[in-house]
Amino acid sequence: MFNPRSGWRAESGNGCVPISEVLRYHLAKPFAKRVRGIPCKPGDYLTLQAKIVLLPGDGIGPEVIRQARRVLEVVASQFGHTFEFSEHIIGGIAIDQTGEALPDATTAACRASDAILLGAVGGPKWDDPNAKTRPEAGLLKIRKELGLFANLRPIVTFEELLDSSPLKREIIEGTDILFFRELTGGLYFGPSGLEELPDGQQRAFSTAVYTTSEVERIVRMAAHAALKRRNKLTMVDKANVLEASRLWRRVSARIMQEEFPTISYDVVLVDSMAMHLLSRPTSFDVVVTSNMFGDILTDEASMLPGSLGMLPSASLGSSGPGLYEPIHGSAPDIAGKGIANPLATILAAAMLLRHSLGLEKEAASVEAAVKRVLAAGYRTADLVRRGESSLGTLAITDHVLQSMIG
């Protein structure tokens, strides 16, 4: 699904791996003496050299990114990879320093990287509705500039946290949904404007615009994911009212019929979907939808696993680096207190290992460590029930690292 940028193919990984440089290759089966000109012998390890850009951003962003970086550093040393990190500014901090939410230097560094890990942007300091620019503009711009049209948001309940969810255990148990939210079109990027009317009122508009190919590519990506999962795809729209949704419905039906006839496919209106997510979340496998609907539905779905603090996401294009981030925002109310839950960012780092670096084993080891830490009863403040004690950002990460090292 992901095109290599270096033109190099990994034998033991998940298809093509977009790594800028490969130093040595893991020769589980001795098939070559040299890989990319580098002499190898059986038993050698494939070690990847990858450039990872960190965009800590605002609020709790820097705190959670610092912990995810520690996890990636342990992965690098355990598996023999070399990760070269560089930090750049985005969001409110970038507005303060440069006047722009996404400075050109940040975009350039991201383009030259293999993958990007982002904390969060925004906060009350930059909330003035009359301000020239907003932190969120940086996020929208980087998505657009890097062509990150697919936002993958897995909603998986952790057995250990079932009782932290506001919903009943019997409804949410077993929930495993993968949302594909279209990320560079629709209402977020269509023509918009604000005008003064002669009678003194203002008139504002935002437009949902989609083209055939924008719908095709996200539906195809979601369908490929469904083939590797439970073979079910649900497309969510508002075709009973919106013209743009009617395009989605036609294009999506055609792609599914012509290219993915074996997938069980259905369509659900967005208002019903809001309800079904709470009444029968386990009946969904892969869900694909437009930018705005995906934004809203995934926040709603994030309550199924209990806390926003557990959910990672990946934003991918057809080539180039992917961008990984926690779903939660900058949480300015708890910033600097050392109590933010870093697990969503750590799980985003695991997605980065899997989707941008092709390091499935490494990704799985991070995810397994997080699960073990939860199973052992360790919790951050957002996950505890009344009266239970909690760990801070650093301490829970220490447990994850210890669990990885074994």
Closest CB 94 distance from ligand IPM, rounded Å: 14
Contacts of 260 (CB under 8 A, 6+ apart): 223, 226, 227, 233
Q: CA-to-CA distance for 400 and 76, rounded, in angstroms?
A: 15
Query: Is residue 295 a contact residue for ligand IPM (CB under 6 A)?
Result: yes
Q: Please give the size of the binding site for ligand IPM, defined by CB under 6 A.
A: 4
Q: Binding ligand IPM by CB under 6 A: which of 139, 142, 152, 239?
A: 139
Closer to ligand IPM at the Cβ: 106 or 397? 106
Query: Is residue 176 a contact residue for ligand IPM (CB under 6 A)?
Result: no
Q: Which residue is nearest to ligand IPM (CB)?
A: 136
Residue from 44, 45, 141, 295 carrying the catalytic annotation: 295
Strand partners, 117: 54, 324
Q: Is 378 known to be catalytic?
A: no
Contacts of 278 (CB under 8 A, 6+ apart): 167, 171, 300
Q: Binding ligand IPM by CB under 6 A: which of 11, 44, 84, 136?
A: 136
Closer to ligand IPM at the Cβ: 91 or 321? 91
Q: CA-to-CA distance for 370 and 67, rounded, in angstroms?
A: 13
145 binds, among ligand IPM, Mn ion, none (CB under 5 to 8 A by kind): none
Query: Is residue 295 a contact residue for Mn ion (CB under 5 A)?
Result: yes
- Per the CB < 8 A criterion, the answer to whether 380 and 395 are in contact is no
- Residue indicated by tokens 């039906």: 253
Residue from 299, 361, 371, 398 carrying the catalytic annotation: 299
Closer to Mn ion at the Cβ: 325 or 382? 325
Segment holding 119, helix H or strand E? strand 115-120
Rg (C-alpha) for the chain, rounded Å, is 22
Which of the stretches 123-131, 136-144, 255-263, 337-345 binds ligand IPM when contact is defined by CB under 6 A?
136-144
Closer to ligand IPM at the Cβ: 53 or 139? 139
- Residue indicated by tokens 């309550």: 303
Torsion sign across C-alpha atoms 283, 227, 325, 388:
positive
Q: Is 299 known to be catalytic?
A: yes
Closer to ligand IPM at the Cβ: 189 or 378? 189
Residue 196, phi then psi, degrees to nearest 5: -90, 130
Q: Is 295 known to be catalytic?
A: yes
Helix (H, G, I), strand (E, B) or coil at 310: helix
Under the rule (CB under 6 A), what is the footprint of ligand IPM? 136, 139-140, 295
Annotated catalytic residues are 188, 238, 271, 295, 299
